[in-house]
Chains A and B, each alone.
Chain A
Amino acid sequence: MRQEGILQHSASRLLGLIPTLLVLITIAFFLIRLAPGGPFDGEKILPPEIKANLDVKYHLDEPLIKQYFRYLGQIITLDFGPSFQYKDWTVNELIARGFPVSLTIGGLAMLLAFFLGTLIGIIAAMRQNTAADYSLMGVAMLGISIPNFVVAPLLILLVAVYAGWLPAGGWDWSVQRMVLPVITLALPAIAYIARLTRGSMIEILHSNYIRTARAKGLPEHLVIRRHALKPALLPVISFMGPATAALITGSVVIERIYSIPGLGSYFVQGALNRDYTLVMGVVVFYGVIIILLNFIVDILYAWMNPRIRYNEAQ
């Protein structure tokens, strides 16, 4: 009876995912098809017979609708098809190559953003309106305002070129090559989360149940840890969904600047070369990840909030 809340919640959310996924795939499919110029109108001019053969091979001569449903069928079996620009590779293989890289950087950036961001936010909230608060929030505002493609070159200049502490780019799974990209990627997220946490914590600290906790004679550190922390972090948890999306977006630029062979750079290349299947594959892939993550965050939020978790019947 009491668990009804969270199970119901999960089930309805899960169902809601499917239309979202469909819309995602459909929009991406038709958009890329609308592009003037096909995948083979690239650098080399092909003789017409060869082009015709290629068209047949890749089903490009079929009506659009038929191609669409064919693609849908493929997706369900998790087959994203062959890449058009990298002739010997399938999209699945390309994703398998690029994604682990992006995942590592993105995942580390996310962890850094969450822990550092909430820490900064809590400190600022507890020292509200002091110099510490203003300076921390001023720096946070800067973190939101400086685009990562400005930070990256500056960091590279200072840390790699002038000081020579870290390499300027490239990728070999070593920790040194991870440091700068992860920091650059995490920066705006740290700033957002810090501001969000601070605001949320301040609001919580003014609530009546915190007053009660203090009136009960609890020492302040217990008041914060036991009574204020969880409610204050709820909005931050909610934010992790969109935060992931932002991190994925940011990765495109980061991978380019730091010359990292991740999924983002494959995507940009694919877009510029009209590699239909690759672009589609990446969009769907990332879309699924975002949708899944939003779903997990949603469930996590519901789990942490007793009002939803233990839902009174209406």
Chain B
Amino acid sequence: MALLEVTGLQVKFDTPEGEVQAVNDLDFSVKRGESLAIVGESGAGKSQAVMAIMGLLAENGSATGKAEFKGQDLMQMSRKELNNIRGCEIAMIFQDPMTSLNPFLTIEKQMVEVITNHQNLRRDEARAHAVEMLRAVRIPAPEERVKQYPHEFSGGMRQRVMIAMGLLCEPGLLIADEPTTALDVTVQAQITQLVGELREKSNMSLILITHDLAVVAEVCDRVLVMYAGQVVETGSREDIFYRPQHPYTQGLLASVPRMDRPVDDDLHSIPGNPPNLMELDSGCHFRERCSKVMDVCSEDPPLQVARDGRMSRCFIDMANGAEGTAAGGAGTEDAATETAE
């Protein structure tokens, strides 16, 4: 049984300029010990989806749908019930470590309160646990550093502190919203590796939101690709990287610069811009930028679901899209144009 099962998630925002549909009909699930990557451009709805599940949406946002965690629907829970789960069974870390910690409280206070809020440990036991956690994320001299304030840590270290804080109650699921985007490349590598190790030790599930495909390749078992608030493709890591079905996924992969191609090759990019979420029309939202667009694409494309859980929201049949579209291919040159019935 899945640890987290999300069905029919819709997230809307009420803005002065109109209503924005940030997430439209999102389905996904995460099994125990599994790590799922949610990939997409900025504004694709990745963050908003998980914020909705965690009950952290802004005041002008509203969400419908189901999010079953260990059998209970998070979307229907009261604030109090949700608070029991947040920080304890589901932990979340955010993109900007520089501002995610309270500058007016010591690290110790911020970590200990997670423990005392959810568990029945004594102060000193909680403190010891916090120090241990800091050690596990490789913060040097944790006994002294735990008494310091956030501004005394660097960005990478703050993110480690966030991770440590998230793991204090040994959650079953960790949601990481672009945890390395704001960090240096070398620090990125360290953090990514750290998360991978910690996961293995505790068999914790992970939802990693990112737009960095390299991180996905290293850490994740399965991938979910989002575009304009919808799922456009899901699959295992191998499937997505070696056999992408949806033209958007193919475009994304082709956009990654590669070391094994000639240096003076043109850099590939997907032409055009993402659609305005306030003016979404019917039909495939990607069709203006798709190299394989067909006439039928002006109707809503079906979400094809294969037996193994593979999904693609496209008119191009999943089984037939296999040739010439691997990550190593030329990208948008299509070998076959299928006209769907």
Contacts and interface: CB of A to CB of B under 8 A. Distances in A.
Interface of A: 128, 207-209, 211-220, 222, 226-227, 230-231, 304-307, 310, 312
B83 interface: yes
A297 B139 CA distance: 36
A304 B82 CA distance: 33
Nearest to A215: B92
Contact of B56 (A211, A218, A312): A211
B339 interface: no
B102 A219 contact: no
B94 A312 contact: no
Classify chain B's interface size. Answer: 20 to 34
B87 A216 contact: yes
Given A215-B87, A216-B87, A216-B165, A306 B114 contact: no
A218 B105 contact: no
Contacts of B84: 217
B101 A212 contact: yes
- Listed residue (B79, B88, B102) with the most chain A CB atoms within 10 angstroms of its CB: B102
A209 B92 contact: no
A215 B54 contact: yes
A230 B104 contact: yes
Interface of B: 54, 56, 59, 79-80, 82-88, 91-92, 94, 96, 99-105, 113-114, 117-118, 148-149, 151-152, 162, 165
Contacts of A305: 104
A202 to B, nearest CB: 11
By Cβ-Cβ distance, the 4 closest A-B pairs, closest first, are A217-B87, A216-B87, A217-B86, A208-B99
B331 to A, nearest CB: 37
Given A216-B114, A219-B83, A306-B104, 10 more contacts: A207-B99, A211-B100, A212-B101, A214-B56, A214-B86, A216-B117, A217-B114, A227-B102, A306-B151, A310-B148
A301 B2 CA distance: 51
Contact of A211 (B80, B94, B113): B94
Contacts of A219: 79-80, 83, 117
Given A220-B79, A231-B104, A212 B86 contact: no
Contacts of B114: 216-217
11 contacts: A128-B59, A208-B100, A209-B101, A211-B100, A212-B100, A215-B92, A216-B87, A218-B87, A220-B79, A306-B103, A312-B151
A219 B116 CA distance: 12
Contact of B94 (A128, A212, A220): A212
A213 B105 CA distance: 12
Given A217-B88, A218-B83, A220-B79, A209 B113 contact: no
Contacts of B99: 207-209
Contacts of B118: 217
A208 B56 CA distance: 11
B152 A218 contact: no
Contacts of B102: 209, 212-213, 227, 231
A312 B152 contact: yes
A227 B105 contact: yes
A312 B150 CA distance: 12
Nearest to A212: B100
B175 to A, nearest CB: 9
